Every structure is written in C-alpha cells, then in structure tokens.
Amino acid sequence: MKRVSELFVGKAKSVYSTEDPDKLILEFRNDTSAFDGRKTDSLDRKGLVNNKFNAYIMQKLEAAGIPTHFEHLLSDNESVVKNLDMIPVECVVRNISAGSICRRLGVEEAQDLNPPTFEFFLKNDELHDPMINEYHIRSFGWATDQEIAKMKELTFKVNDVLKQLFLDGGMLLVDYKLEFGRYHGQIILGDEFSPDGCRLWDKDTREKLDKDRFRQGLGGVVEAYEEVARRVGLKF
Ligand SMILES: Nc1ncnc2c1ncn2[C@@H]1O[C@H](COP(=O)(O)OP(=O)(O)O)[C@@H](O)[C@H]1O
Ligand SMILES: [Mg+2]
C-alpha cells in the first residue's frame, strides 16, 4: 500500500489517502507540541516509538473486543488504518487527578478518583479544546445519543484493559484521551494511544513517563516513551 495524496497535516501526524478509499496511511512524525501548539519541538525517534507503541496497544484493545482503526504497520513511521469519519470530540477518562482538571476545579494533583471521571472536549485548537457535555454534542449534531453511549462504553472498556496492562508494567494509568469515528455504521476507536495522549506514572516513584516530560521541560521524553513500551513487553 502506498501514499496517494496528503489529506491532512496535524500537530504530530500526517494523513494520506491510498488506492483503497476505506484505508488511510497515518504517518507518525517526530514533531511534538503542547499548550495548543505554543510549545513545539522535534524529538528524534518519537515517530517510530509512537507508531510501534500505538500498533501494539491497538492490537491489545482489538483482542479485548474493542473495535479499532488499526490495520497493520507499514514502516517504522507509518501505519495503515481504516478511513473513519471522525467525530470532533475527545473522550477523556481520569483515574488520578492531574493536568487541566486541577487548574479548572482547583483540586490537588495525585488524588485517586473513584469512580474515574469522564469528560468530553471539543476538538478545536483555536478554542483551546473547550470542555463540552452530551447536550452540546447532541444539539450541534456532532454525534447521536447512540454514538455518545458507544464512545463512553468503549472508553471505559479501554480503561479496564489498559489500567491492568500498565499496572503489570509497574505503571499507573493516570488519564488518557481517545478519539472515535464512524466506519460503515460502526463506532471505531481512531487516532492513537501513546504517551503523547495519556499520563503514566511509575507506580512506586510516581515519576512521569509521558508527555508531561515535554510540557514541563523535564527532558528524556522519548527515553521515557521507550521505557513505557519496554515495560509493557514491546521490543523495538
Ligand atoms: N482512522 C482515521 N481516519 C480519519 N482521520 C483520522 C483517523 N485517525 C486519526 N485521524 C485524524 O487524523 C489527525 C491525526 O493527526 P494529529 O497530528 O493527531 O492531528 P491534530 O493536530 O488534529 O491532533 C487527527 O485530526 C485525527 O482526528
Ligand atoms: Mg492529535
């Protein structure tokens, strides 16, 4: 399978059409950004690490009965995925308080959240991805009731699978963001699961092993991502 034309260049990935209208090529670039694109950098090997890690996680999720867009690895930096009609909404689950929820609600970091929280955000960089609720999604036609229910169900199912997977590797899954899309009438997990879109802490030391290393200028960003991959059993 090869690239036909460039459809979209995002902050970290590029999307290409293929000869098959049902398939896309997702290129994982080394580019990284934070704070709505105000801090950017290029990190050696990040594209490769995230591409391989995402493939590994998507396959684990698929095996657990969660439909994903992942088809197969194409190269070090590219994967073939199903061409989804993306829903412009991000689904976020938090098991431990960190990041924007602490600023927004004035709550302390590192509190265990029982039950975990679920939040929707509108995918819109100019508006800084504002938090929305199910009424906004329905009223503006971004998704139907059924689709909303499915996204929530699948997002929580991902939590069950991945909390344990990371715990087995000595890590806490603090929070994560998922994006879904439609494919021949079905709601499918799209985009990526990688340390760029979740928080992972070492279980004992609480060392940050995710994109907060970049946001907070802690260094060793890709090294931490590789450590995460290694701990869940992925070899490069
Ligand atoms: N399977 C898919 N089909 C169509 N679009 C997808 C799929 N998976 C991810 N996307 C979209 O491709 C883009 C990936 O590039 P990314 O760098 O993450 O963009 P962004 O800057 O919008 O976050 C995102 O806009 C994402 O919603
Ligand atoms: Mg993205």
pLDDT at 36: 86
Q: Which residues pair with 194 in a beta bridge?
A: none
Give yes or no for a contact between 25 and 74, defined as CB atoms under 8 angstroms apart. Answer: yes
Give yes or no for a contact between 195 and 208, defined as CB atoms under 8 angstroms apart. Answer: no
Residue partners of 14: CB distance under 8 A and separation at least 6? 6, 8, 26, 27, 29
pLDDT tens-digit series, residues 28-82: 999 999 998 899 999 999 999 999 999 999 999 999 999 999 999 999 999 999 9
pLDDT tens-digit series, residues 101-134: 999 999 999 999 999 999 999 999 999 999 999 9
Q: Domain 85-220 - what CATH class?
A: alpha beta
CATH number, domain 6-82, options 3.30.70.360, 3.40.50.150, 1.10.275.10, 3.30.200.20: 3.30.200.20
Distance 127 CA to ligand 2 centre (A): 15
Average pLDDT, the chain: 98
Ligand 1 pocket check: which of 6, 9, 15 to mutate, most ligand atoms within 8 Å of Cβ?
Answer: 15
pLDDT tens-digit series, residues 216-230: 999 999 999 999 999
The backbone torsions φ and ψ at residue 49, rounded to the nearest 5 degrees and listed phi first, read: -60, -45
pLDDT bracket for residue 87 (50, 70, 90): very high
> Is the C-beta atom of 12 inside 6 A of ligand 1?
yes
Specify the ligand 1 atom closest to the Cα of 179: 27
For the chain, how far is it from start to end, CA to CA, in angstroms? 23
Q: What percent of the chain has pLDDT over 70?
A: 100
Ranges for all domains in the chain classified under CATH 3.30.470.20: 85-220
Task: Give the integer Cα–Cα distance in Å for 15 and 13.
Answer: 7
pLDDT tens-digit series, residues 149-187: 999 999 999 999 999 999 999 999 999 999 999 999 999
Ranges for all domains in the chain classified under CATH 3.30.200.20: 6-82
> Is the C-beta atom of 55 inside 6 A of ligand 1?
no
Reply yes or no: is the peptide bond before residue 88 cis, omega within 30 of 0. Answer: no
Distance 64 CA to ligand 1 centre (A): 23
Task: Give the integer Cα–Cα distance in Å for 26 and 16.
Answer: 7
